[in-house]
Chains A and B, each alone.
Chain A
Amino acid sequence: MAVKTFTAYEQLTSSDMNLYAANSGLVYVASGSFAGATQFDITGFSSTYKFYRLEFAAQRVDTAGGCVFSAQLYSGTTARTTTYYASAFFSSYLGTTGVGYTSNSSSSFVAGFADSGGYGIQTLDIHGMTSATFTMTGNAWDAGSARQYMLGASHFVTETNDKIRLSASAGTVTGYWRLYGYREP
């Protein structure tokens, strides 16, 4: 594994800084913002990283109410429209808990939520965009219903994808996303 312990008075070369410091840990890959949009794409995936971390925040802006983000994988302009399996568990500010939803070989998976009452935040780890079957696991906070979701999804087809498209199930949304890659050994 590419690690190095620097010693006192050791010269810091650009090569060492680029390899061990500048691109260590979570590495910024791509970002985007949207305003009053119905759909938005998460782009920037490649074979550079096996693991990705996606952070996005969104708020519904057309009217009072909530929505869910249905997501599909894409390779270029080709959408993957089958064989998604997903589920989520939640707890809420009222003390209620339960299964939020399930998807059994569906045409999409859920990637998060948005509400007019405030920004919801999603923290998602992603594997297998280009090298294996896609899997996602993470957390989402539904600001409108004050629900904490643990969610996950798989797409049981081994293929290369380079984009995730998220569709708001109702209304329009405003927000932004950041994509990072976990540094490879």
Chain B
Amino acid sequence: MMNTPQIATILDNGEYGQRDMTAEEIAQHEELVANAPQIDFSDRISD
């Protein structure tokens, strides 16, 4: 089972921390990814 994607943000307790992304946040993220500029990683130094 895949883990829920996480976001680091201000939590309900007012502290900065990490939590599961909501369904709306996941949808917005997927839209951002789909429209992200195409970056050339062809020069990437292999691990």
Contact = CB atoms under 8 A, between A and B. Distances in A.
**Chain A interface SS verdict (over half):** strand
Interface residues of B, number: 27
Nearest to B47: A64
B43 to A, nearest CB: 5
Contact of B6 (A36, A66, A107, A145): A36
Contacts of B25: 39
B47 A107 contact: no
A172 interface: yes
Nearest to A41: B9
B33 interface: yes
Contact of B33 (A113, A147, A167): A167
Given A34-B8, A144-B45, A145-B43, A70 B28 contact: no
A37 interface: yes
Contact of A117 (B7, B29, B38, B47): B47
A-B residue pairs, 8 tightest by C-beta: A34-B8, A101-B37, A40-B8, A38-B5, A41-B9, A39-B7, A169-B36, A32-B16
Interface of B: 5-10, 16, 18, 21, 25, 28-29, 31-33, 35-41, 43-47
Interface of A: 30-41, 43, 64-66, 68, 70, 72, 79, 92-94, 96, 100-103, 106-108, 110, 113, 115-117, 144-147, 165, 167, 169-170, 172
